[in-house]
Structure 1
Amino acid sequence: MRRVPAATLFSADPSTDNLHRFETSWLLPPTLLAALRGLISLYIFTTIIVIWAWYGTHDDRVDIGETFSYFTWLTYWGLGFYFLFSAIHTACYAWTGRSVLFDRWPRFFRVLHTLFYATVTTFPFLVTIVFWVILFTPPFYKQTFPRWSNISQHGLNSFYALLEIILPATAPHPFIAIPVLILILLLYLCVAYITYHTEGFYTYGFLDTEGGKKSGIVTGYCFGILAAILVIFLVSWSLIWLRKRLTGSKIKRAARDPLRAQGEFVDAPVDMQERANEPKYPDVSV
């Protein structure tokens, strides 16, 4: 039975390195893509700082520490760091025509980035759906601050995820990312109940079993969220596949990219000379 390298399973095969999928777009040149990602990251971290400052100046300083127990906040931090690092990767590529950091780091980091990309294009949609369908209670926020903060964290988060589905030249998610997403949700469930036993509050009311009386209902919610993330993953995968189909796998390359001469928009294969010059990585097989 032929063994498949782990990097291939996680869509990090060395033969696709020259495509620079995470640092390029079919629509925007690398410099604009880096700038857009950097601005989104700046807005996300600014939002976090402003909300914390609001808590600190309105006698809610305890709420600052409690934010780390909420899935909404954890995914929002994840979005911020994803756009920060993706902006850095894209800016380096725009300047040099190479994947500067990825080429220096172990291949395992490409695998992690692939999984990171899968989370930021799935979890934000889950947060938005759960908040507006289950947690939100009408009427809509009349005060400016809660209206802005909730739109930023429970609305714009999905908009950012959608941009990352539409704009980059990324490939569809590897299906092996599904168990990783499920594991993250299970680990968060542990965080939620650890928070209850240590801090005395439920991060989300639908997790309250009320001493075992609502165990069945809570279990139903958990399986509902599991089904939701599977559907969201498939929708995200399909949208990326459709984008690649419609754009013909076009890539706008950096000016210093060696393959730019073959055509700025060409999804060019690696030639034999480039394969010979590629850095050699250990074959970690499964």
Structure 2
Amino acid sequence: MVRNPFKLGTDLWDPSHRFETSWIISPWALFFCRALISLYAFVTLIFVLAYQCINSPNHCGASQAQFSYFTTLTYWGIAFYFLFAAIHTITYARTGHPLLDRFPRFLQALHSCFYTTIVVYPFVVTIVYWARLYDGHWYKITYEGWSNISQHALNSVFAFFEIVIPRTDTPPPLHILWLIFVLALYLALAYVTEATKGFYTYDFLDPEKQKGWLAVYIVGIALGCVILFGVAWGLIKLRKWVTETKLGRGGKFAAVKEKTMMDREIGGKEAVPLQG
């Protein structure tokens, strides 16, 4: 019988704690890195909202409009992902049992989907911004330079961190459908924004200006997203091969010994807790 690809599994979730461990740094160090990234992202988002409320001609109207931009929404996603990832990591570091393991399976699956968006969407944002939206002139105001670097460059640095440093497994190809679905939801939001607020979040979504190019942009970004998923998948696969197969770096685990830890295997080797 062919297995239903949309059916949630019933086997043990993430048995070797790939979402909460790294091949190179301890769970505590991974927690601090993720927490720091989350803090930076939240500070950036809140500062941008406050700055625009104070300095924009229409005051907080500009801040409200930020929630219609894909860049801003994905950056909120980064902030919350790293917050949740930090929580799961510290609970694992302290007890040997991450909070994620106690979640219902559908929430665990959503966390996996969340991870996939984090290692794909930031690269979409970065490429579209610097290749299509950036006008080639550097910003005269320090705030504008900092905010754009934070949201259109560091976002990809954070995504690359999640590809390289943790022991996460390759995302299922089925997640491509999730990525396209979320992009479709954003496309709907963009046109709802135009209908209710009277502006297009991105000029390439304006059918009057772009004519036939509109479909090219939409399909191109969707295809680019699929390609970037493949790149992220390949990089994760490469990281696993180099670190686990070639270097034998199974991972650094919590100092708290689990009853079942010796039953968990990684790359054919028993997982041994990191000694303090």
Is TM (by shorter chain) over 0.5? yes
Partner of residue 95, structure 1: 94
2: CA distance between counterparts of 1:259 and 1:5?
32
Q: Which runs of 5 or more structure 1 residues have no equivalent in the other structure?
A: 272-286
Change (3 A) 1:251 1:8: farther
Render the CA deviation track for 1:199-255: whole Å, top value 9, x for unaligned: 000000011111xx6331111111110111011000000000000000116221101
2: CA distance between counterparts of 1:242 and 1:103?
26
2: CA distance between counterparts of 1:223 and 1:6?
25
After TM superposition, the structure 1 = structure 2 runs for residues 192-271 of structure 1, keeping only pairs within 5 Å, are 192-210=190-208, 214-248=210-244, 250-258=250-258
The number of residue pairs the alignment matches comes to 265
In structure 2, give the amino acid aligned to 1:222. Answer: I
Render the CA deviation track for 1:113-142: whole Å, top value 9, x for unaligned: 110000000000000000000000021112
> Do 2:119 and 2:159's aligned partners in 1 also have CA atoms closer than 8 Å?
yes
2: CA distance between counterparts of 1:160 and 1:260?
32
In structure 2, give the amino acid aligned to 1:187. Answer: L
> Do 1:19 and 1:267's aligned partners in 2 also have CA atoms closer than 8 Å?
no
1: CA distance between counterparts of 2:227 and 2:261?
41
1: CA distance between counterparts of 2:210 and 2:143?
34
* Shift of residue 15, structure 1, vs aligned partner: 3.7
* Shift of residue 269, structure 1, vs aligned partner: 7.5
> Do 2:18 and 2:168's aligned partners in 1 also have CA atoms closer than 8 Å?
yes
Partner of residue 148, structure 2: 150
Secondary structure in structure 2 of the residue aligned to 1:137: coil
Query: Under a length normalisation based on structure 1, what TM-score does the superposition of the two structures give?
Result: 0.86
* Shift of residue 270, structure 1, vs aligned partner: 8.9
Change (3 A) 1:246 1:141: same
* Shift of residue 2, structure 1, vs aligned partner: 4.2
In structure 1, give the amino acid aligned to 2:72. Answer: W
2: CA distance between counterparts of 1:266 and 1:191?
43
Change (3 A) 1:261 1:270: closer
* Shift of residue 156, structure 1, vs aligned partner: 0.1
In structure 2, give the amino acid aligned to 1:253. Answer: F
Partner of residue 36, structure 1: 33
> Do 2:8 and 2:106's aligned partners in 1 also have CA atoms closer than 8 Å?
no
Q: Which runs of 5 or more structure 2 residues have no equivalent in the other structure?
A: 272-276
2: CA distance between counterparts of 1:31 and 1:250?
17
Partner of residue 106, structure 2: 108
In structure 1, give the amino acid aligned to 2:18. Answer: R
Structure 2 residue corresponding to 1:120, chosen from 118, 121, 128 = 118
Is 1:61 aligned to residue 60 of structure 2?
A: yes
1: CA distance between counterparts of 2:19 and 2:106?
15
> Do 2:250 and 2:269's aligned partners in 1 also have CA atoms closer than 8 Å?
no
Partner of residue 283, structure 1: none
Q: Percent identity at matched positions? A: 46
> Do 2:13 and 2:101's aligned partners in 1 also have CA atoms closer than 8 Å?
no
Change (3 A) 1:270 1:6: farther
Partner of residue 49, structure 1: 46
Change (3 A) 1:142 1:257: farther
In structure 2, give the amino acid aligned to 1:73. Answer: T
Structure 1 runs of 4+ off > 6 angstroms? 268-271
Change (3 A) 1:104 1:261: closer
Higher relative contact order (CA 8 A, sep 6+): 1
